[in-house]
Amino acid sequence: MNLPSDLKEQFPLLSQVINDHQIVYLDSAASSQKPDSVIEAMNDYYRTINANVHRGAYEIAAQATEAMETSRGQIATFIGANSASEIVFTKNATESFNLVARSWGGQNLSEGDTVLITDMEHHANIVPWQILGAERGFEIRWIPLTSDGLLDLTQLDQLLDGVKMVSVTAMSNVLGTLNPVREIADRAHEAGALVTVDASQYVPHLPTDVNDLGADLMCFTGHKMCGPTGIGVLWGREEILDSMPPFLGGGEMILDVRKDGFTPNELPHKFEAGTPPIAEIIGLGAAVSFLESLGMTAIRQHEIRLTEYALNALDDRYGDELTIHGPKDASQRGGVLSIQYRDVHPHDLSQVLDQRGICIRAGHHCAKPLMRELGVGATARASLYLYNDESDIDALVDSLEPAGEMFAL
């Protein structure tokens, strides 16, 4: 069950030459590259069936609607949803979280209530709760980390006391940590709380089944899973989505509008106000087809092997001069490697690597509370995906030393 060795050829961007070097793309945790099939699917839509959906009675409008709804069904199957009406299209995972906070939270959270998140959340799963919390005065509680970058669940029962919503990432975008979502969800449910999962870094990399995860709501984004930007997903159990009030108002999300009020549309359209990003939805459907053709289990195995290769290569070459935040065991983590090399600042490291065509991320990765816990202002992050191979890791490993020579204090 290996991935095809010529996968890079299906990604036109990966043959680009940057700064006289063939590009080495190691920033897929920020955004993945797109295969030809996704780019073509979006082109085909614009060239052949571009029309607004869910209204025109003419042929291409019907085809556009069918293409969009086919994508919705593919995505539902891909994550083990019970039906396509549980798939709500948003702009990105951030909008999905804002929808959950504003709609579910707006209906259910007030002073005296508590939302439980973790120290390793992305700002998208922090700030929407803080915005609402500032209005409503409910508490936000944090699950702390162990020194290995795992969630410290020793106090979970106390932390869950009085909690109405647990919102937790399935995989850290900084540490790569894979969290025991099922265990947390089971205990949260016993305590009477619902569970929202940030699967932005999970769905692109591992076989995903919302029922196995024990999630009630789940947010992820298209552009990290070989799909386009501008399209995200909120999945929710039907009875929960049904109970939630609309988020954005306008066209498409209503059944009827009168001068004295409106009647919201059925799921999932209740949450999809305005003309949707049709080409992007079709592109995301093509991305799901692409991932399914490779097999998510094969993708995960590939990434475990490559992560192990990277961890070993970095350790063999640099030993104590280099720290990798997060778990050491590749089976407990995804292919996200936040590196501290000697005292070279992440910005300077990524600048030197850029001269060799190597794309890594330097910064706080939208996780400033985690940066404070780690005691750093920023990290340099290399992240892997299905198209990366050993040569990409070798290029990374070879490039650290020159950066160290230049900047070591």
Partner 1 sequence: MPGLEDLYKEIILDHYKNPRNRGELESPPAHKTEGFNPLCGDEVTVTFELRDDSLAELRIAGQGCSISQASASMMSAAVQGKSISEVRDLSREFKSMMSIHEESIDPKELDSASTATFQLGDLEALKGVVKFPVRIKCATLSWNTLLTGLDELEA
Name the burial class of residue 50, with classes exposed (0-12), middle (13-18) and buried (19+) by CB atoms within 10 angstroms of its CB.
Answer: middle
Residue from 121, 364, 370, 393 in contact with partner 1 (CB under 8 A): 364
Residue from 313, 355, 389, 395 in contact with partner 1 (CB under 8 A): 355
Q: Which residue, 19 or 331, has its beta carbon nearer to partner 1?
A: 19
Of the candidate spans 54-62, 240-248, 359-367, 381-389, the one that interacts with partner 1 by CB under 8 A turns out to be 359-367
Residue from 180, 345, 397, 404 in contact with partner 1 (CB under 8 A): 345
The DSSP code for 83 is -
Name the burial class of residue 376, with classes exposed (0-12), middle (13-18) and buried (19+) by CB atoms within 10 angstroms of its CB.
Answer: middle
Which residues in 81-120 contact partner 1 (CB under 8 A)? none
Q: Which residue, 315 or 343, has its beta carbon nearer to partner 1?
A: 343
Contact flag: residue 316 with partner 1 (CB under 8 A): no
Residue from 2, 5, 6, 20 in contact with partner 1 (CB under 8 A): 20
Residue from 120, 362, 370, 393 in contact with partner 1 (CB under 8 A): 362
Rounded to 10°, the helix 390-407/296-318 angle is 30
Of the candidate spans 180-188, 190-198, 343-351, 393-401, the one that interacts with partner 1 by CB under 8 A turns out to be 343-351
Residue from 377, 390, 391, 405 in contact with partner 1 (CB under 8 A): 377
CB of 372 to partner 1, least distance (A): 10
Nearest CA among 83, 67, 45, 34 for reference residue 291: 34
Nearest CA among 338, 320, 322, 318 for reference residue 380: 338
Q: Which residue, 145 or 362, has its beta carbon nearer to partner 1?
A: 362
Q: Which residue, 194 or 396, has its beta carbon nearer to partner 1?
A: 396
Contact flag: residue 368 with partner 1 (CB under 8 A): yes
Which residues face 169 on adjacent strands? 198
Buried b (16+ CB within 10 A) or exposed e, 229-259: bbbbbbbbbeeebeebebbbeeebbbeeeee
359 is catalytic: no
Q: What is the DSSP string of 305-368?
A: HHHHHHHHHHHHHHGGGEEEES-S-GGGB-SEEEEEETT--HHHHHHHHHTTTEE-EEE-TT-H
Contact flag: residue 351 with partner 1 (CB under 8 A): yes
Q: How far is CA 211 from the centre of its chain?
A: 18
Contact flag: residue 404 with partner 1 (CB under 8 A): no
Nearest CA among 290, 288, 280 for reference residue 50: 280
164/217 Cα distance (integer angstroms): 13
Other CB atoms within a 10 A radius of the CB of residue 156 amount to: 17
Amino acid at 107: Q
Contact flag: residue 409 with partner 1 (CB under 8 A): yes
Residue with tokens 């969290």: 179
Residue from 144, 251, 363, 404 in contact with partner 1 (CB under 8 A): 363
What is the total count of residues that contact partner 1 (CB under 8 A)? 19
Q: Which residue, 110 or 355, has its beta carbon nearer to partner 1?
A: 355
Q: Which of 219, 226, 359, 366 is catalytic?
A: 366
CB of 348 to partner 1, least distance (A): 5
Of the candidate spans 33-41, 148-156, 213-221, 370-378, the one that interacts with partner 1 by CB under 8 A turns out to be 370-378
Residue from 136, 189, 401, 407 in contact with partner 1 (CB under 8 A): 407
Site string for partner 1, 116-155 (x = CB under 8 A): ----------------------------------------
Buried b (16+ CB within 10 A) or exposed e, 347-362: eebbebbbebbbbbbb
Residue from 143, 286, 287, 371 in contact with partner 1 (CB under 8 A): 371
Of the candidate spans 6-14, 162-170, 246-254, 355-363, the one that interacts with partner 1 by CB under 8 A turns out to be 355-363
Structure tokens at 219: 């947010």
Of the candidate spans 157-165, 241-249, 274-282, 339-347, the one that interacts with partner 1 by CB under 8 A turns out to be 339-347
Q: What is the DSSP string of 23-48?
A: -EE-BTTT-----HHHHHHHHHIIII
21/355 Cα distance (integer angstroms): 8
Active site residues: 366
For binding to partner 1 (CB under 8 A), which residues are involved? 19-20, 345-348, 351-352, 355, 362-364, 368, 371, 377-378, 406-407, 409
